[in-house]
Structure formats: C-alpha cells, structure tokens
Amino acid sequence: MEIAYLDTSALVKRYHVEEYSDLVDEIFEKHSIAISELSIVEFVSTLRRKVDEKSIRKKEQSKILLKFHDDLADFVVLKFDSSVISKAVEFVLKYSLKTLDSLQLSFAMKLKKYNPLFVSFDRKLLDCARSEGFRVLEFKHL
C-alpha cells in the first residue's frame, strides 16, 4: 500500500467534517498514513481552538480525541530528531516557510525514498513539497 504523509490541516479533516473531508477519507482508504509527532500536538491544539470558537462542543472534542488516540496505532508516527530540526531550518531559509510548516516538510523528507503522497491544505506548503520532489494532492479552490 502506498504511503501518504498528512500535515495537520489534512489530518483534522478526517475527524471533523469540513470542506475536503471526503478527499481525506479516500486517502485513508487507499494509503498507509504517516504523520509527525508534531501533528499530534497541533491536532489537539486545533480541536481546542474549535471548542474555544464554539464550532465544536467539548463532548465532541473528547470523542474525537479518543478516536484519534485509537487510530494512532495504525499510523506511522515520525519522531523528532536533529535531522528534522536542521532540515526545517534549511526550509525556512530556502522557502521562507513558517516554523511549523518547515517542520512538517522536514518530517516528510524522512519518507522521501518511499515516494509518499504529500497531503496538505496549505498551498504554499504544497508548492514547497512539490519543489522538493514530492507527489502532492491536487485539488481546486485553495
């Protein structure tokens, strides 16, 4: 099965129905999923923000977090190490990426030899991933 690397913008769409959730569901059906340790923290932060903004209730957040925790066992979770940090610094300088985006792209580089599909809903990050030789999810209206 092919690998898909998801950043947090894509991962959230699996657990909270919003625009493009259907595309993410298809990716989950057809690919092994890889995420970074960073995405775990970002995911929880995003859900908390949705509670604060009242777009979801705390009870729904709890259900989503339980489901996400259960699903983590099925994901390839890429770990932080010094190579992630040094590559992220390179991406900040090369592409003027934001810190977290540079880290996401850096984590994905660990999978480069497997030719993963890079999935994000951030146009600049997708463009940078493409420049680094990744296959990227193509969709309209970003």
pLDDT, the chain, mean: 96
Number of independent structural domains in the chain:
1
Work out the number of other CB atoms within 10 angstroms of the CB of residue 116: 23
* Residue 142 forms part of a structural domain: no
Would you state the pLDDT for residue 81?
97
Q: CB under 8 Å to 114, separation ≥6 — which residues? A: 3
Would you state the pLDDT for residue 142?
47
* Residue 92 forms part of a structural domain: yes
Domain that holds residue 35: 2-136
* Residue 141 forms part of a structural domain: no
How far apart are alpha carbons 44 and 50 in whole angstroms? 10
Q: Are strands 135-136 and 76-78 parallel, antiparallel or unpaired?
A: unpaired
Q: Tell me: the pLDDT tens digits for 21-40? A: 999 999 999 999 999 999 99
Would you state the pLDDT for residue 38?
98
CATH assignment of the domain containing 128: 3.40.50.1010
Would you state the pLDDT for residue 141?
57
User: 2 with 118: CB under 8 angstroms?
Assistant: no
- Looking at the DSSP bridge assignments, the partners of residue 25 are none
Q: CB under 8 Å to 13, separation ≥6 — which residues? A: 19, 20, 21, 23, 24, 121
Q: Tell me: the pLDDT tens digits for 49-91? A: 999 999 999 999 999 999 999 999 999 999 999 999 999 999 9
